[in-house]
Structures are given as structure tokens and as C-alpha cells.
Amino acid sequence: MKKRIWNVALGELLDVEGVLAEDVVTRTGAVILPAGLSLGALRTTRPEIVSQLLRHGITHVRVKSVPNITAGEFRAALGSLRPPVAELNPLLTRIIVHQFGAFYEHADSRFLRDEGLRSLMGLAGRLPRELRRTPQITLSLVEGGSEAVDTPHIHAVNVALLSGYIAQRIPFAPPAFVETAVVGGLLHDLGKALFALRESSVAAGAERVFNTHPLLGETLLRDAGVTNPHILGAVRSHHEAWDGNGSPDGLRGEEIPLAARVVAVANVFDNLMSAESSRCDQAVNQVIGLGSSGLDSRVVRALLSSIGLYPPGTVVVLSDERVGIVLETRERDLLCPRVLVCIDSLNRRIPFETVKIHREGSVYIRTALDDFSRRKLPPLREALGGA
């Protein structure tokens, strides 16, 4: 079976599906777009590309089709692997999200609010144990929910998981730092619960929410009897910036509590991943770009060493034209992950097989196509097994 390759006029380039069949180059040989680049990604990241190509006298590009792979097929394949790839218990995630919803709903009641906060902190205490048995954290992150109201609570869980995962890789961290980072990550946006109660306050502007919710969150924690300075610092200072241009206190560099620096990286990374049509590998590159200004570069390196340049769940094209999905990364070799191949070099669907990329080998990752890293959040009844 031959691969389907055809010429596409620039006027149609952003309307078709597929990947570039060859490098798009200028008359002098400079590469503008690499072979294997997904046109879907191009629509999102380079909407101005058509006019740029026209300026170089390019009117057509060569495109090839790629058989569709679904996230459901990938998850099914994960379940069949031996040994299995460990993932976070979805029931725990669903319960935390549900508890967050209850906290937001009763945030105007001091008694119920404090009870809800203690419950959330108790649940957060279970996450470090889950992290220790879940080496590929991006496969346990969650997207979407059964209701739109779940979205901020899902973000809180993702930031908690990422914060704990990064904290495990911070050298010379204080005792119990992973637990501190997890709790700080889970509760970093706690102050937004007070805005959710008052729509008029939200309508007053996102800037007000952004600038004040860290202070409100710290206040809620203190009111509930939380005294751990690392947790309080993580919540208050997660929007401080390494270059001193953050808020609420304008702290700079090492003045920012370490837990807050970890939560900041996790927060930015999950927000970037949540952007429409964004991929996990794109979020990694954007976070790296912030490592010299807004974020602590040491913490950014810890994130990179944790998940690699192509995090687990990334759909990739290999140099021999096979297509697969990254299963796991190795801390000391970020460009050489294990890949679950599902499309062969002749563009045919094949049974899933695992391939380990070797630095000395001839096969390498050429580009990323899609991202299946985050899973859908099941409704609570489904997570409980239909009970």
C-alpha cells in the first residue's frame, strides 16, 4: 500500500488534514517548515504561514495523509501492556474534584469552608504515595469534565500532581518537600472560591482576581488553622516572578519560597497544556523559554528531566516514517523515549509494538503530531464503578 501524497495549493493549506511530506525550503535552501509537521499544529501555531510562504514564491506544498489514531485506542493499548504503565487512580482524582466543587459552593460559610479545606488537605496527603508509583505523570493528568464547572478543580489536581512530581527531582530540598508542594499546588488558587461566589466581582476584571486571589487563599488557610510556612508561601507567592515582576509582593529570585517556584512552573505548564489545540511538547518548549525570566530555571530543568522534550502521550513521527505514541521518558536521555508504534513506514495500521529509541541508533523522533497525554475525567458514578 503506497502512501497518499499530493500537492496542496497554499489557499487550501490550512483546511486539509495531514503532515508535510517534505521540507518546505526557500530558494537558498533554508528550511521554513520541516517534513512531518502536522497541518493541524500549523493552523494553531503559525496562522500567518501562508503569507510568509507566498513572500518566498512558494505556491504549493507536498502533503501526505496519516491514518487516524484515537486517544481511546491509545488508552486501550496502555491497558494491554505487560508490565502495565502505572497511572493515577481516577477515582481519587474524581473525589478531589468533587470535594473542590463542594468547597466552592460553601465558601461563604466559615464552618463548612474550614471542614472542606481539612478534607482537601487529607486527600492531598494521599497524592504523594500515588506519585511514587506513577513514573509517567503526564498520562495521569486530566482534561475536561462532565461539567464545565469542574475545570478549575481539574486544574488544581493537575498542578498538585505536577508540583509533587517536580519536587521529587529538586536536589537538597527541605524534608517533606514533596508533600508540601502537592498541598500548595492543590490549594494554589483557593482564593478564587470567594470570587466565584460573587459574579459581580468576577465581572470587575480578571486582573483583580489574578492580583488578589493569592492573598485571599493565604487568608483562608490561616483562618482554617494552617501554619505550615511552606504551604502558605506556595499559595501566596505562586505568581511571583524570578525577575521581580510578579505579584503580590514583587519578590525576586531566591526571595521567592521554593515551593512557590515549583507551583509556578506546574501552574504555567498546565495552563499552557489547557490552551486550545496545544500539545504537551509545545508546552514544554514554552516553559523552557520562560526559564530565564519569569520562572526559576532550576525548577524548569527539573520539569524537563521529569517528562522530556516529548512527554508520554505525545504522538510522534519517527525518522523512518513510522508513527507512534511516547510511552515513557528516561531522565538521563530526554530525546530517547520508549514509543508505542502503531503505523508502519508504508502508512499502514499495525498492531501496537514498543520501540526504544537509542542515541546511537539511526531512528529518532522527527516531529510531534498530536497529544494524548491527558485523560478524560469520568463522572463520579462511573469512577465508583457504577455503584
Kindly report, residue by residue over 193-230, the tens digit of the pLDDT: 887 666 544 454 666 667 789 999 999 999 999 999 99
Residues 10 and 41 in one domain: yes
Q: How many domains does the chain have?
A: 2
**C-alpha closest to that of 39 among 65, 73, 2:** 65
Whichever domain contains 216, its CATH number is 1.10.3210.10
Residues 59 and 93 in one domain: no
Please check whether residue 126 lies inside any domain of the structure: yes
Q: Quick check: 290 pLDDT over 70?
A: yes
Kindly report, residue by residue over 72-120, the tens digit of the pLDDT: 888 888 877 877 788 888 888 889 998 998 998 888 889 999 999 999 9
Label residue 1 by pLDDT band (50, 70, 90).
very low
Label residue 277 by pLDDT band (50, 70, 90).
low
Other CB atoms within a 10 A radius of the CB of residue 177 amount to 18
Whichever domain contains 54, its CATH number is 3.90.105.10
Predicted local confidence at residue 380, as pLDDT: 64
3-state DSSP assignment of residue 103: helix
Residues 248 and 151 in one domain: yes
Which residues, 6+ apart, have CB-to-CB distance to 298 below 8 Å?
Answer: 170
Residue 28 domain boundaries: 5-64
Count of H-run helices and E-run strands, the chain: 16, 12
Query: In whole angstroms, how far apart are CA 256 and each of 122, 242, 264?
Result: 26, 8, 10
pTM for the complete prediction?
0.83
Please check whether residue 341 lies inside any domain of the structure: no
Query: In whole angstroms, how far apart are CA 289 and each of 274, 316, 368?
Result: 18, 22, 19
Residues 143 and 206 in one domain: yes
Backbone angle region of 173, left / alpha / beta, with phi > 0 → left and psi within -120 to 50 → alpha: beta
Q: Quick check: 191 pLDDT over 60?
A: yes
Please check whether residue 334 lies inside any domain of the structure: no
Predicted local confidence at residue 237, as pLDDT: 96
Q: What is the 3-state secondary structure (H, E, C) of 256-316?
A: CCHHHHHHHHHHHHHHHHHCCCCCHHHHHHHHHHCCCCCCCHHHHHHHHHHHCCCCCCEEE
